[in-house]
Amino acid sequence: MMDPASRIRYALEILSDITDDELKEHKSALAPIFTRFSTIISHRTETRASILDTAVARLSETDQFLKEKDDLTNLVLERLITADDPRTAFLSNSTDWLLFLLRALSTRYLVRGYEMRYGTGQGQANNSRRSGKIKVFLEEEGLSGSPVTNAIKTGRKLYKAEENLEIPGVWIIFIPALPKLAHLCADEVGHMINFLSDGRYPELIDAARRLSKLWVECSRLYTIYIPGKGRGSVECKYENSVST
C-alpha cells in the first residue's frame, strides 16, 4: 500500500490529465471533494499552547460547575435515560457545561471502543490506515454520520493523553477545549502531552488527578448504561479504580 504522500501525488497526476470538459461533466461528483480540500486548507489550526491555555483559562469555570452540582452522576443518568441514543445524542456543540461533559463521555466511549477493536492502545491519531477503520467500526456499531466520525478522530488525541499520562481526569480539564482539539495536528498532540508530563502546567495536572475519581464514576455509569439498553457491542472496560 502506498503511503499518504504517494497517494496524493498519484491522485494529483491523474487529475492534472483530465480536460476541462471532463471536469465539468463530472463536477457534481467532484464538488464534495474540492469543498473538503478548501475547508481543510483554509481552516484554522490550533497549537499545544492554545489548547493548554484554553484549559487553564476555563479551569475555574469547570471547578465552579462541579461545586454547584451536588450529585453529578445523577444528572448524567437523567440525561442518559431521556436520550434516544446516548452514544450520539450529545455530540453537537453546546455552551451548557453538563452537555460538554456528556459530549466528552460519549466521545471517550466511542474512542475506547474503537481502540479496543482496531487501535494501538495509544490513540495514535496520525495513523491513516487505522483511521480508515473508523467507517468499519461505525458500521459494526450501527452508527453513521460525520459527528460520530469527527468525535472519534478528535477524541483519539485526548485518549492518547489519557493513556500516556495515566490520568483519566484529563478528559474533564480539557472539556472546554474539546472543540479546538479537532484542529490540533498529531505532532502538536505529542508536544502537548510532553508539556503536561514535564510539569509546565502543574495546575492542569493537579486538577486532572483530583477529578479522576469523578470522571471514572461518570464513565462507568455511562458505559454500563449503554450496553444495558442493548445498543452496540462495545465492551468498555475502564481502568482500575482511582483512589481518592
Per domain, the residue ranges of the chain are 1-43, 48-228
| 3-state secondary structure at position 46 | strand
Ranges of H-type helices in 43-145: 48-57, 59-68, 72-82, 97-118, 128-131, 134-141
| CA neighbor of 161 nearest in space, from 138, 132, 186 | 186
Residue type, 166: E
Q: Are 174 and 158 in contact (CB under 8 A)?
A: yes
CA distance 167 to 87: 23
Instruction: Report the predicted TM-score, pTM, of the whole model to 2 decimal places.
Output: 0.74
Kindly tell me the burial class for residue 22, based on how many C-beta atoms sit within 10 Å of its own C-beta (0-12, 13-18, 19 or more): exposed
Inform me whether the pLDDT recorded for 135 exceeds 50: yes
CA distance 70 to 67: 7
User: Grid coordinates standing for 237?
Assistant: 472496560
Q: Are 172 and 211 in contact (CB under 8 A)?
A: yes
Ramachandran bin of 119, using left for φ above 0, alpha for ψ from -120 to 50, beta for the remaining angles = beta
Inform me whether the pLDDT recorded for 32 exceeds 80: no
Residue type, 154: T
- What average pLDDT does range 163-187 have in this prediction? 92
> Which one is predicted more confidently, 7 or 104?
104
Per residue in 73-126, pLDDT tens? 888 888 888 888 889 999 987 778 899 999 999 999 999 999 999 876 444 444
Q: How confident is the model at residue 230 (pLDDT cuts 50, 70, 90)?
A: very low
Q: Are 76 and 222 in contact (CB under 8 A)?
A: yes
At residue 111's C-alpha, the angle toward residues 165 and 51, to 5°, is: 55
Rg (CA), the chain: 20
CA distance 150 to 27: 26
Q: Which residues contact 28 (CB under 8 A, 6 or more apart)?
A: none
Q: How confident is the model at residue 49 (pLDDT cuts 50, 70, 90)?
A: very high
| 3-state secondary structure at position 184 | strand
CA distance 38 to 35: 5
DSSP 241: P
User: Grid coordinates standing for 68?
Assistant: 454547584
Q: What is the mean pLDDT of the chain?
A: 82
- What average pLDDT does range 9-16 have in this prediction? 80
* Percent helix, strand and coil across the chain, each to the nearest 5: 70, 0, 30
